[in-house]
Amino acid sequence: MITAGILGGMLNAVAGGGSFITLPALILVGVPPVSANATGTAALLPGYIASTWRFRREIELPAGLSSATLVLITICGGCLGASILLYTNEQVFSALIPWLILFATIIFSVGPSLLDSRVLSLVKPSVTSSGYCNRKTIAIFCLFSVCVYGGYFNGGLGIILLAVLGLMGQTNLHGMNGLKNLVSSLITFIAVVIYAIGGVIASEQLLVMGAAAIFGGYAGAAFAYRLSKQVLQMFIVAVGFVMSLCFFLM
């Protein structure tokens, strides 16, 4: 569990995908699936906050969207997703896990192509376009949907958020990454509060994995940055596919 926390924290700090490690690890030590998802999300929260602070000067809001609106969308979506998890039957969630991991893995693997500048130029809204309002509404709906997903599962949240921010017209990847970390922190914090109220967080495992995740996010990142981004992405995708296959076979 300590190893899973360190590796999960390291992956989230560098490229994302920490949930692919923490969720299966918690289930393997006997934590029920819904509680494992909630506990793993809570354990990775400090890493999200640290990443947000690091990128605080890079944060840029999408055109036409105020900070108040962004926070409102995040809070409402995160609350809804976390609440749905609390009312999800353990057996139902267990059946969903391999599909959720597989979906997040596929999104993570195709994410770089979705964020290619040529793709973003196709979805970037124009102020002179007659369809600006409709496109903005669609983008806000997509952001809300991602926040619901993040409150419910959290796996692969970062790359999905980056794709939606591209849809909303952002092209500066540093600014997008900063905003992605901020939204991820808000969603995760809200979800963790609701999970705690619902009593589904395994406190003993949280303390161990949370401390390990903080260590992994700081000490492990030094080693991770020596690896190429492509190697890390390939490793995370491989882990995701293996984990989804294992859960399909369970």
Write the pLDDT tens digit of every residue in 100-137.
888 877 877 775 565 554 444 444 544 444 455 566 67
Tell me what the pLDDT averaged over the chain comes to. 78
As a whole number of Å, the end-to-end CA separation of the chain is 20
39 pLDDT tier (thresholds 50, 70, 90): very high
pLDDT at 114: 57
Check if the beta carbon of residue 195 is closer than 8 Å to that of residue 82: yes
Residue 120 is predicted with a pLDDT of 47
Q: How far apart are CA 156 and CA 108, in angstroms?
A: 6
**Least-confidence region, from 2-6, 66-70, 79-83, 117-121:** 117-121
The sign of the dihedral angle between the CA atoms of 40, 44, 48, 49 is positive
pLDDT computed for residue 123 by the predictor: 47
Structure confidence at residue 58 (pLDDT): 73
Instruction: Tell me the three-class secondary structure of 164-178, residue by residue.
Output: HHHHCCCCCHHHHHH
Look at residue 135 in the predicted model and tell me its pLDDT.
Answer: 62
DSSP 61: P
pLDDT-based confidence at residue 148 (cuts at 50, 70, 90): very high
What are the residues whose beta carbons fall under 8 Å from the beta carbon of 104, sequence distance 6 or more?
Answer: 19, 20, 153, 155, 156, 160, 240
223: Cβ contacts below 8 Å, ≥ 6 apart:
10
Number of Cβ atoms within 10 Å of the Cβ of 51: 23
For residue 71, pLDDT beyond 70: yes
Q: What percent of the chain has pLDDT over 70?
A: 77
Q: Report the distance separating Cα 200 and Cα 181, nearest Å.
A: 25
What DSSP line would sit under 45-57, residue for residue?
Answer: HHHHHHHHHHTGG
DSSP code at position 161: H
pLDDT of 99 strictly over 70: yes
